[in-house]
Amino acid sequence: MVAVNVDTPLRVFLKETNGVLYPQCFLTIYRSVEMTRYIGIRHRRKATKEGEARPTTVAIRIGDKVQIHDLETETDELDFLMARFPVEWKKLDDGEEVVWFDAKSAPNGIHPHHCKWRTVKRGEDSTDLELDRLLEGADGTVRYLMKVPSVFEGLRTRDKVGMVLGGSGDRFAAALSRRGESIGSTVWRIPPFVLKALRGEVSKDDDHLLLASLVETKLSSFYLLRLRDREGIRVKEALDIRQQAMKARISCEQQMLQALIGHAFLSEEGHFPEGVIKEEFDRLKANDQIFKALEAEENRRDKELDKAVKAVEIWDKIFGPIQGCGSRLAAGLIAPIGDIRRFLVEPDANRMQELYARSEQLEQDGQFVRDRVYVADRITSDMKHFKVLQIVRSWQERNGHTAEAQMLTEAINCHRERHKLRRAAHNKGKAKLKAFCGVHCINGKFARRRVGQVSNWNPAARQALYLLGEQFNRRPESVWGKKLLEYKAKLRVVHPEVIEEDGKKRFTNGHIHKMTLWRTLTKFVEALYNAWTRIEKEQSGTIHIASTESAAA
């Protein structure tokens, strides 16, 4: 066991036992003062047009000092996660034996990919090279060990990690969060549009430095990555893999069909006496081993997706009770939306605080506490403060306390204004989600692709909603199926006749059906926002959770 100074980086202390070199990779670190490190991570992006790689970049801020490290591969990211990413190396003395990592026999051994090597040239005299430092690759290349790691870097206790919300960094962020729960560190994520506003004229290439600074100074702009958020990321990952498996199966199927058609029409041996391409194609699919393997792979990915979706908290409380909404459709909404908190809009904090302070003073001047005892028999434990104020105010009016009643009336108005501000903020958040899903209106017209308009909604979410609407239409006895029929009847009353404008017929049965479908889906997204935000506030213990089924009723 080795004790190191607070400013000493995590080092590999090499200990010799019986002539064998054992690196002490995992240490117990004693610090007189635990220091919080602020880490900004800009996840890897696509290479530039010139082929320049842009790896994951980590900025570690400790006081006024900043350390920067590039994580070139997923293996480097995993090493950083486990605090074994090498940043310094040392030469070995002659005669020192190296113990390589083995999960069972040498868990503290050296990982070959952590070391510095040189390639042994063909024909080079290797008699002077120590055999235990030679490593032959699968391609026959022989490398000789030059240096071993001496300093490691990675996630530590009390670290606060700042990353961008969404994108390719989801998996790494989820892994850091899961690891952080066991060692005492946290991962915070900031919406891209917030980061863009705070970035100003600074280059995107310095986002890792900006994130390290913001997670220290503007933590309120970030969202803590929690277990429920990791579950959502797993849904997104499972959906992506399932879609890739489906595309691979479809691609194989199309190749088989094209090959069969080519054989039928281009063969010089005959004119396809079987005669029916579809039947022959079905026979080929039933016997083709590659197609059957791809089909089995897709089924396996479907099961994984189903398991991931049903592990998410909002499945049981929102999507599960909806008739026609399976795990695939639910994943189509959960994955693109991700974290509902990025759509939340908070009311003006200064105005809310000003109204709260004024209502407190008015209640004090209006003798609210003094007169409350006279109506104690009418007050229940679950009654809200606003209702109690009204009861006390009414008692004061009946008993001649006019001045006090007037003050409590003003206090009640303060509470009403606070409620209006919260409601307006809630509606703004709801509007953001509708715009994200593409079920909003632009200049009084329902959003669709039009010349000269920006179609910046999420296509995956909109596609999932369209498929969900088809399920509502096929289930007229369900809650949302009845809602669809109700809207259709109302629209037909408003537009009883088919009209023709600019050579196009409007308000036909098909047009009314499409209008009804998207109107129903707009209401569904509103109900989804209401239910999902209630779940986010459930931790306070004061919000009753309502499903989208009850919201539609």
Convert the pLDDT of each residue in 203-257 to its tens digit: 888 999 999 999 999 999 999 999 999 999 999 999 999 999 999 999 999 999 9
* Stated pTM of the model: 0.82
* pLDDT at res. 170: 93
Which residues contact residue 196 at a Cβ distance below 8 angstroms, ignoring those fewer than 6 apart? none
Average pLDDT over every residue of 508-521: 95
* pLDDT at res. 514: 95
Average pLDDT over every residue of 511-535: 96
pLDDT of 549 strictly over 50? no
The pLDDT tens digits for 151-210 are 999 999 999 999 998 888 999 999 999 999 999 999 999 988 899 999 988 888 899 999
Hey, where are the domains in the chain? Answer: 10-221, 227-311, 349-427, 429-552
Average pLDDT over every residue of 484-502: 93
The pLDDT tens digits for 281-318 are 999 999 999 999 999 999 999 999 999 999 999 999 99
Buried b (16+ CB within 10 A) or exposed e, 334-368: bbbbbbbbbbbeebeeeebeebeeebeebbeebbb
pLDDT of 21 strictly over 50? no
390-394, 464-468, 545-549: segment of lowest average pLDDT: 545-549
Q: What is the DSSP string of 391-422?
A: HHHHHHHHTT-HHHHHHHHHHHHHHHHHHHHH
Which residues contact residue 72 at a Cβ distance below 8 angstroms, ignoring those fewer than 6 apart? 53, 55, 56
Cβ contact 147:169 at 8 Å:
no
The pLDDT tens digits for 373-385 are 999 999 999 999 9
For the chain, the average pLDDT equals 87
With CA atoms as reference, report the closest residue to 208 among 404, 345, 92, 56: 56
Indicate the pairing of strand 65-71 with strand 445-446: unpaired
Q: Who has greater pLDDT, 445 or 137?
A: 445
> What are the tokens at 292?
């059957």
> What are the tokens at 322?
């909806």
> What are the tokens at 349?
């904090």
